[in-house]
Amino acid sequence: MTINAGDQAPDFKLPASGGREVSLTGQKGKPFVLYFYPKADTSGCTKQACAFEEALPQFGALGLDIIGVSPDPMPPIEKFASKYKLTFPLASDTEKSAALAYGVWVEKSMYGRKYMGIERSTFLIDATGKVAAAWQKVKVDGHAAEVKAAAAKLG
Q: Give the residue numbers marked as catalytic.
A: 45
Would you say 74 and 63 are in contact if contact means Cβ atoms under 8 Å apart?
Answer: no
How many CA atoms lie within 13 Å of 21's alpha carbon, on the beta-carbon side? 6
Would you say 67 and 34 are in contact if contact means Cβ atoms under 8 Å apart?
Answer: yes
Q: At what angle do helices 143-152 and 43-61 cross, to 10 degrees?
A: 20
**Short-list 107, 49, 51, 110, CA closest to 83:** 49
